[in-house]
Amino acid sequence: MFNKLEWYKPNLAETVNMLERLYYDALNRQGGNVTFRALPPSDVDFYSTFDLRKYNYDTDITRYAEDLCILLHNSYCKRRLLDDNMLPTISPALGIGDYSAFVTGEIDFRQDTSWSQPSLKEVDDWKHLPPLGTSKWYQRFLVICEEMLKISAGSGIPFIRGFFSPLDLAGALRGEELYYDFYDNPDELHELLNYCADATIKFADDIYDLADKYLRDSKYGLFYTKGIINMSEDIACMISGTLYREFCRPHTQKVIDHFGVGHLHTHSRAMYLVKEICSLNNVANLWLATDPNAPKPIEHIEQLVDDANGVCLAIDCEHFTEIKNNFYKLKKGNFSITLPVKNIEEAIEFTEKFKILR
Amino acid sequence: MILENISLSLQRGKAKEVKMQVQAALDSGVSPQYILNCGLIHGMNVIGGKFKNNEVFVPEVLVAARAMNAGLEILRPILVQTGIRPIGRAIICTVKGDLHDIGKNLVKMMLEGQAIDCIDLGVDVDSDEIIAAIKEHNPDLVCLSALLTTTMIEQKVIIENIEKAGLRDKVKIMVGGAPVTEAFAKEIKADAFSPDAASAAETAVQMLTKQVDDDV
């Protein structure tokens, strides 16, 4: 089904070199790298056509994997002339419910996403859960990963999987009660977060072992998994820097330390946390998604350069002129800039304009 | 002094202290309305302002709201006895297809912190349930929350269906949620938009008090 990775990305080696240098410099707190990604609708549209409800996840996993791989292939075909910083990747898409259901609970599938329900009524109820790795969705998710890897391995396309941070996982398992736990049950909350860190480490290790089994002989197949953990820090947007330092930092750091390097994600409404997150050890990349009704990262570049201290910030903008006008400032740090565009032609046009800028 | 202490304890989320202080204030002859306005609501207003300015965050708002409710437990029966009524009634929910509830819950707490009676329909709520609730509860305000770009469209559907049901003139409609903007709110013909829970409460109070003035 898939072609070789090189077919989708004509300047593959150059793109990988650019990304390697970006992350190397980020880890060494050296600025000077600005890379560009164009985001045509075809990069994301297919998710809305992928109806998660039409599969029986006991019996249809092969069909699910094939259908998703076809959509990914079609999407990557459309951008194959685009010489931006984006590498095609393979990853399951089951909404957000599976991000915690691998520990416990069910997934409630909707057309284009999924949900989970909080399952820990008390903060220490995790102590009564069956051993990690035994839940239905843990095992099912590994089967899904393996099916996708069987289809894609020959292409050498990198496998990628993101995870909830320990705080996000605890938030999904505890629901709103988590916010009271900071004040009512601080010691027990630390225990829960430590459990969530262990759960993430085990789950990611098992997924990465599968990726390694199928992709170890490929040149770039493990680009996003070998020594790297991708995690979201979404719940962090709801809490103060003080609580982040006390409750989240040690557990997120534990997961990063297990794998080596952290690629993290949070939102622009938590701009005040960029300094906290980027001061974690061995964070190479922080994807700072722009929220409506919140500050736009591109309008705060000088502050972000200071706060990130070399960590690559993946941010988006609305207009190419924002990149052009801020390019000098951006070069003081490390940035990966995403620009939504109307179509592939416009994507090519702006990618070429960016090369001139660079 | 005692009212200042109630406000401070509430801001610190100390529910037991608020409960004791409200009782002590009543015992010393302070009027329940005065305790409500200058102790509890004052405290929630301070928390709301700090929340808007990123000085406190969700956990602090939630424990403060819990402390407010602890104080109201003591105060509510006395307020009812003395004939003091809420300033209005609101129906609140997260729209169909969306199961996020934290934003909706924060708005509800802030509204209650302004003495607005709230009927919480929960999450994943469709037009039919909202229309039935409007008919049953006769609210002044309907608050619709959505946290996803894919579900904010449901706010438009609900407003259209409320209009089709002939109820649009009976209620004000406020929309909010992370992806919702003022421009979107105008486009879907909502009466109000708020970017955060504290602003939602301020806007609700303005709309409800204006409505009372207009009615008068």
User: How far B28 CA sits from the closest chain A CA (Å)?
Assistant: 31
* Residue with more model confidence, B1 or B40: B40
- pLDDT at position A1 is 86
pLDDT of residue B27 exceeding 60, the answer is yes
Cβ atoms < 10 Å from Cβ of B211 = 15
How many structural domains is chain A composed of? 1
Q: In this structure, are strands A114-116 and A107-109 parallel, antiparallel, or unpaired?
A: antiparallel
Per residue in A257-311, pLDDT (tens digit) is 999 999 999 999 899 999 999 999 999 999 999 988 888 999 999 999 999 999 9
CB atoms B105 and A240 under 8 Å: no
Sign of the four-CA dihedral B174, B175, B181, B184 = negative
Q: Does B63 touch chain A (CB under 8 A)?
A: yes
Sign of the four-CA dihedral A213, A221, A309, A339 = negative
Find the domain containing A312 and state its range.
5-357
Sign of the four-CA dihedral A288, A289, A290, A292 = negative
Per residue in A39-67, pLDDT (tens digit) is 999 999 988 889 999 999 999 999 999 99
CA distances from A333 to A74, A286, A318, B20 (A): 35, 13, 20, 54
Average of per-residue pLDDT values in chain A: 96
- pLDDT at position A113 is 87
Give the residue among B77, B100, B64 at the shortest CA–CA distance from B26: B77
Sign of the four-CA dihedral B63, B64, B65, B68 = positive
Q: Domain B2-81 carries which CATH code?
A: 1.10.1240.10
Angstrom distance (rounded) from CA A275 to CA A240: 12
- CB B94 within 8 Å of CB B124: yes
Chain B contact probe: residue of A178, A179, A269, A275 with most B CBs at under 10 A: A179
Q: Does B180 touch chain A (CB under 8 A)?
A: yes
Q: Which residues neighbour B214 within 8 Å (Cβ) at sequence distance 6 or greater?
A: none
**Contacts of residue A236 in chain B, CB cutoff 8 Å?**
none
| Pairs of CB atoms within 8 A across A/B | 48
pLDDT of residue B216 exceeding 60, the answer is no
Q: Average pLDDT of A70-83?
A: 96
- pLDDT at position B175 is 97
What is the pTM for the complete model shown?
A: 0.91
* Residue with more model confidence, A198 or A10: A198
* Interface predicted TM-score (ipTM): 0.92
CB atoms B13 and A183 under 8 Å: yes
CA distances from A152 to A44, A73, A91, A156, A161 (A): 19, 10, 10, 7, 15
CB atoms A293 and B99 under 8 Å: no
Instruction: Give the CATH number, domain containing residue A348.
Output: 3.20.20.210
- CB B197 within 8 Å of CB B51: yes
Angstrom distance (rounded) from CA A147 to CA A64: 9
- pLDDT at position B113 is 85
- pLDDT at position A300 is 97
- pLDDT at position A104 is 96
* Residue with more model confidence, B112 or A124: A124
* Tokens 């009271």 -> residue: A180
Length of chain A: 358
CB atoms A183 and B102 under 8 Å: no
Per residue in B44-96, pLDDT (tens digit) is 999 989 998 989 999 999 999 999 989 999 998 888 788 778 899 999 999 99
Q: Provide the residue ranges of all domains of chain B, joining segments of one domain with +.
A: 2-81, 88-215
Chain A contact probe: residue of B51, B52, B57, B145 with most A CBs at under 10 A: B57
Per residue in B91-140, pLDDT (tens digit) is 999 999 888 888 899 899 889 888 899 999 999 999 999 999 999 999 99
Residue A180 is nearest to which of B63, B178, B196, comparing CB atoms? B63
- pLDDT at position A355 is 94
pLDDT of residue B209 exceeding 90, the answer is no
Per residue in A211-258, pLDDT (tens digit) is 999 999 999 999 999 999 999 999 999 999 999 999 999 999 999 999
pLDDT of residue B215 exceeding 80, the answer is no
**Contacts of residue B178 in chain A, CB cutoff 8 Å?**
269, 291-293
**Contacts of residue A48 in chain B, CB cutoff 8 Å?**
150
Angstrom distance (rounded) from CA B156 to CA B97: 13
User: How far A265 CA sits from the closest chain B CA (Å)?
Assistant: 17
- pLDDT at position B214 is 64
* Residue with more model confidence, A345 or B211: A345
Interface of B with A in 75-134 (CB under 8 A): 97, 99, 101-102, 105
- pLDDT at position B211 is 65
CATH class of B88-215: alpha beta
The percent of residues above 90 in pLDDT, for chain A, comes to 94
- pLDDT at position A319 is 96
Is residue A339 classed as helix, strand or coil in its secondary structure? Answer: strand
Residue B58 is nearest to which of A108, A113, A179, comparing CB atoms? A179
**Contacts of residue B53 in chain A, CB cutoff 8 Å?**
none
Q: Average pLDDT of A100-104?
A: 96
- pLDDT at position A118 is 92
Q: Which helix (H) or strand (E) holds A38?
A: strand A33-39
The percent of residues above 70 in pLDDT, for chain B, comes to 97
